[in-house]
Amino acid sequence: MNQITSVFVGIDVSKAVLDVAVRPSGTTLRFSNDEGGIKALVAEMNALAPALIVLEATGGFETPSVAALAAANLPAAVVNPRQVRDFAKSTGKLAKTDTLDAAILAHFGEAIGPAVRPIKDADLQALEALVTRHRQLLEMLTIEQNRLSMASSQTRKDILQHIAWLKKRLKDIDEQTTRCIKATPLWLVKDQLLQSVPGVGPVTSSILLVALPELGKLNRRKIAALVGVAPFNCDSGTLQGKRRVWGGRAQVRSTLYMATLVAVRFNAVIRAFYRRLCQAGKPPKVALTACMRKLLTILNTMLKTNTPWTQSAPENA
Give 168-202 pLDDT, tens digit per residue: 999 999 999 999 998 888 789 999 999 999 999 99
Q: Give the number of other CB atoms < 10 A from CB of residue 245.
A: 19
- pLDDT at res. 314: 56
Model confidence over 260-295: pLDDT tens digits?
999 999 999 999 999 999 999 999 999 999 999 999
Please, what is the average pLDDT of the chain? 87
Confidence of residue 61 (pLDDT cuts 50, 70, 90): confident
CA atoms within 13 A on the CB side of 212: 33
**Radius of gyration (Cα) for the chain, nearest Å?**
23
Residue 263: φ, ψ to 5° = -65, -35
In whole angstroms, what is the distance from residue 99 CA to residue 19 CA? 6
Q: Is the pTM of this model over 0.75?
A: no
Q: How far is CA 184 from CA 86, 180, 189, in A?
A: 39, 7, 9
CA dist 287 and 277 (Å) reads 6
Spatial CA neighbour of 117 closest among 45, 52, 189? 52
Average pLDDT over residues 75-84: 88
Selection from 210, 216, 220 nearest residue 294 by Cα: 220
The span from the CA of 104 to the CA of 90, in Å, is 11
Residue 244 pLDDT greater than 60, yes or no:
no
Identify the pLDDT of residue 235.
Answer: 45
> Is it true that domain 8-112 has CATH number 3.10.450.50?
no
Nearest alpha carbon to residue 88 among 96, 98, 79: 96
CB 218 within 8 A of CB 263: no
List Cβ neighbours of 303 (8 Å cut-off, separation of 6 or more).
190, 193, 194, 215, 216
Q: What is the DSSP letter of 118?
A: P
Q: What is the mean pLDDT of residues 225-253?
A: 66
Q: If you average pLDDT over residues 96-112, what whole number do you get?
A: 90
Bridge partners of 54, per DSSP, are: 10, 77
- Lowest pLDDT segment from 67-71, 90-94, 286-290: 90-94
Bridge partners (DSSP) of residue 78 are 55
The pLDDT value recorded for residue 248 is 72
Residue % of the chain over a pLDDT of 90:
58
Q: Confidence band (pLDDT; 50, 70, 90) for 57? A: confident
What's the pLDDT at 58? 78
Q: Are 242 and 286 in contact (CB under 8 A)?
A: no
- Partners of 23 in the beta sheet? 8
- Report residue 236's pLDDT band, with 50, 70 and 90 as the boundaries: very low
DSSP 93: -
Give, in order, the Cα–Cα distances in Å from 128 to each of 133, 180, 208, 300: 9, 10, 10, 20
